[in-house]
Amino acid sequence: MQKVCVIGAGPSGITALKNLVDQGLEAVCYDFNSQVGGNWVYNEKTGHSSVFETTHIISSKTLSQYEDFTFDDFEKGMPDYPSHDQLRRYFQGYAAHFNLYPHIEFNTLVKSCELDDAKNWVVKTEKDGVEKTEIFTHLVVCNGHHWLPRMPHYPGEFTGKLMHSHEFKKAEPFRDQRILVIGGGNSACDVAVETSRVSTKTSISWRRGYRIVPKFLFGKPSDVVASRLAWLPTKLKFFLSELSVKIFSGSNEIYGLQEPKHAITATHPTINEELLYKVRHGKVFPKVDISHFDGKYVHFKDGSVEEFDTIIACTGYILEHPFFRKDFLNYSEGDVPLYLKMLHEKYENLFFVGMFQPLGCIWPGSELQSKIAARAIKGLWKRPENIAELCQREVTHPHLNQIKTPRHTITVDFHLFVKQLKKHLPNNYVSKSAI
C-alpha cells in the first residue's frame, strides 16, 4: 500500500498534501513549526521565518493564489499585496477548508530520510525529544529554500554587529544607529527602507546594478501589467517590461545607484515601491561594493570609508536538505538537474515541490507540481522514458540565462513554467471540493 511522507506544511507542503489526499492516497505531513504557513508565520524570535513586522508579498494577489482555493474563495476584499498575516490566514484557511489538519504532525523535526533495500523511505523524526521511525513508499520534499542564511565574506574584521536579514524582525532595535545594508534584492531594499525610518543613517551597498521595479504601473500591479505580455516571445516580453520600468522610474543614475550591466532577466528583479523615494529624500544612501572591514569602518571599492554600528547582510539563502546525507543528494552548490524542477532522474519515489524561484509567486506552481506528483504516485501520469536527458536539459536550457551564482540555480519564468506544468494535467485539474 502506498504511503506518502510530506516534509513541510508551508504554502507548497499544504498543496502537496491536499492533492495527495485528493487522489485517495495515505499521506502524513511533518512540520517543525506549530502551525500551517511556513515562512509566512511571523515570529519575533529568529529562527524559521524570514518575514518581518511589515512584510507584504511582492507578487500581487492575482498571480499569488491557488486555483483550487483563490483569495476570493477565502475572503473577499484582500488588498493587491497582502501582508504576511493575511497570507498566514489564507494558508491556514486552505488547510482548514480541505480538512488537512488531521494529516499534519506539528512540532516534528525530520532528522533523516534514507532509502532501504526495498527502495522505501525510512524517515526518522523527533518530537518532544522522542524519536520515531516510519516507512513510506514515497517522499515529497517541501521544506522551502528561504531559511538557511548565506553570509558574505570580506577581508578584515567588522567589530560592530554583523547579521543576516533572516534575523531582521522590525526596525525599532536599529533606532539611532548607523546601518549598512548589503544587497540589492527584495529583502535588502525592504530592510533599507524600514531601517531608514528610525536610523541615524542607512546606506545600501550594491556589488552590481539592480533594476528596481515598482509595485504598480499605470495604476495596476506591475506583475499584472507584465502578464499581459506573457504571450510574446521571451526576449520581446522582457524588453518591453524593462522599457516600461525605465519610462516610469528613469535610470538608476539619477538616483546615484549603479546601472545594471546585465539583461533584466539575468537576476531576480527587485520589486520595491519606496527605495527610490527614500534615496531621493536623503533617507537611504547608495554605496558600491565593499572592499574590506577595519573595526567598525567599512572600506568601499570606490575608496570611500564610513563607520557603521550594524551591517545587515541581505545576501540570500542556501538550498539545503539537512535530512539527506550529503553524499546522497546535495543542491547547496551547483546545478539542480530536476525535470519540471521536481523529478530526479534516478529516484522515482522522490518529489520536490516548490523548489524553484519564479519571477513571480511560488505556490501557484507548487499547486500544479503537486497535482502531477499525486497523479504520478496514483499511476495516472507516467514519467518520461528519457527523464535523464530531460533533467540535464533543465540545466542546459533554462528559461532565463542568469548570472552564475548559487542564488540563480532554480529560476523559472513564472508564465512559461505554469504553461509547461499544465501540459501534464487534464483540462479538469482544478478541484475546489472540500475533502
Higher pLDDT, 180 or 262: 180
Angle at which helix 414-422 crosses helix 363-378, to 10 degrees, equals 20
pLDDT for the residue numbered 291: 98
Q: Give the sign of the dihedral formed by CA 424, CA 225, CA 394, CA 7.
A: negative
- Quick: pLDDT tens for 359-401: 789 999 999 999 999 999 999 999 999 999 999 999 898 887 7
Give the pLDDT of residue 246.
83
Report residue 411's pLDDT band, with 50, 70 and 90 as the boundaries. confident
Q: What pLDDT is stored for residue 230 in this prediction?
A: 82
Q: Which tens digits make up the pLDDT trace of 41-90?
A: 998 877 777 789 999 999 999 999 999 999 999 999 999 999 999 999 99
261 pLDDT more than 80:
yes
Cα gap 43→64, rounded to integer Å: 22
**In 10 A of CB 101, how many CB atoms?**
15
Please state whether beta strands 350-352 and 138-141 pair in parallel, antiparallel, or not at all (unpaired): parallel
pLDDT of res. 407: 65
Cα–Cα distance measured from residue 244 to residue 256, given in angstroms and rounded to the nearest whole number: 20
Cβ 377 vs Cβ 2: under 8 Å: yes
Question: Mapping DSSP to helix (H, G, I), strand (E, B) and coil, where does residue 26 land?
Answer: strand
pTM: 0.93
pLDDT (0 to 100) of residue 167: 93
Q: Whose grid coordinates read 527602507?
A: 193
Identity of the amino acid at 282: G
Residue 371 grid cell: 497535482
CA–CA gap between residue 265 and residue 399 (Å, rounded): 10
**The total number of residues written for the chain in this structure:** 435
Q: Which pLDDT band, with edges at 50, 70 and 90, does 237 fall under?
A: confident
Q: In 353-420, where do the E strands start and end?
A: 357-358, 411-412
pLDDT confidence bin for 332, thresholds 50/70/90: confident
CA–CA–CA angle 153, 155, 161 (5° rounding): 65
Q: Say what the pLDDT of residue 403 is.
A: 67
CA distance 283 to 304: 19
Measured over the CA atoms of residue 336, residue 338, residue 341 and residue 343, the dihedral's sign is: negative
pLDDT digits (tens, 9 = 90+) for 113-129: 999 999 999 999 999 99
* Cα 129 from Cα 246, distance rounded (Å): 55
pLDDT confidence tier of residue 408, bands split at 50, 70 and 90: low
